[in-house]
A and B are shown apart, each in its own frame.
Chain A
């Protein structure tokens, strides 16, 4: 059943979500776009955009959104609501149990060599995963139009502009809003003429 798969997917995302928000993107993308094809590459980019301009951790935002989306594929509004609740709960459960274990047994992870080693090893892998999330959004595995986030020269110009601006510490929310306005200017206004 699709809701059960949704639960397992987000449990996995929560359990392997080391390195915070951006690192989890690659896991989410792998589960939701690559393995289960619950949404296209472009829809995934849309969720990331929405997550950037709404409050809260990106993992929670995406869980709620994807859960609703997947639930709705099975039928009615209540399935969508159920799906969003299931995915959100699932992504939080590993955090909840592991942090309680840590707090309960006063685990000193700080000086622990196993934990330190694991974090040391995962750090470059996590950076690579973030890069792979970006690469997959740029160069999808399929040619279908639903997977394309870069559709013309304007896309690449917007990409370059935002990259430079974010490097110079311009607020990401502002950048998303500006690129939305640019999108309207480039793709909608000419159709009116």
Chain B
């Protein structure tokens, strides 16, 4: 909530850089966003940024997109939100589109095909990494929920949408029922 007006192109450019230089997405983007919107430009105060991160994670969608919309809207209203969003998305969009157009032509090249055969199992391993790191520190009873969720989507073919709705409802019920007794758990 800074009072000085920032120009739209500047806003666009800052988020363009964030979109262009963050590999791996999500949490990898946070340090760069922090540098742009707090350290370099002073658009957002540090305490505000922590609240913003909590918000960005409570609302669906990529964290970088959520953060850019929020900062853009705070500084310049709807036009600011649009400029910041466009800045974040444009680098990925342009690069992936170029790859998609180009890739169609080389898809059946034997070298490219061999490279992808090597990358596919690697991708699966990289997806399993966060499953392990996120599970650490959770209560042991939660492993059953994790396993049941995984089986419901993979084995039974449930849509993740239903799973999320059910899990959210169960969490809300739990929170409301236990609040009185267990105040300190909230917000963890």
Contact = CB atoms under 8 A, between A and B. Distances in A.
Interface of A: 12, 14-22, 24-27, 30, 34-35, 42, 45-46, 48-61, 64-65, 68-69, 72, 77, 80-81, 84, 88, 91-92, 94-96, 98-100, 102-104, 107, 109-111, 113-139, 141, 149-151, 155-156, 158-163, 166-167, 172-173, 175-176, 179-188, 191
Contact of A130 (B22, B66, B134): B134
Contacts of A184: 111, 114-115, 118
B126 A95 contact: no
Nearest to A98: B59
A84 B97 contact: yes
B34 interface: no
B147 A186 contact: no
B120 to A, nearest CB: 4
Contacts of A126: 134, 164
A128 B148 contact: yes
Interface residues of B, number: 100
Contacts of A176: 119, 122-123, 126
18 contacts: A20-B63, A42-B116, A49-B122, A53-B23, A55-B20, A55-B91, A57-B29, A96-B81, A121-B174, A125-B145, A127-B134, A127-B146, A128-B150, A139-B154, A175-B122, A180-B116, A187-B117, A188-B113
B106 interface: no
A181 B38 CA distance: 40
A50 B70 CA distance: 28
Nearest to A167: B129
Contacts of A102: 55, 59, 70
A186 B131 contact: no
Given A20-B26, A49-B122, A179-B118, A113 B62 contact: no
Interface string B58-101: 11111111100110011000100100010011011101110111
A150 to B, nearest CB: 6
Nearest to B128: A134
Nearest to B92: A56
Nearest to B172: A117
B117 to A, nearest CB: 5
A125 B163 contact: yes
B3 interface: no
A109 B55 contact: yes
Interface in B113-166: 113-132, 134-135, 138, 142, 145-154, 157, 159-161, 163-164, 166
B58 A49 contact: no
B160 A60 contact: no
Contacts of B172: 113-114, 117-118, 121
A150 B26 CA distance: 27
A173 B24 CA distance: 8
B187 interface: yes
B61 A80 contact: no
A14 B150 CA distance: 20
B125 A55 contact: no
Nearest to B188: A120
B105 interface: no
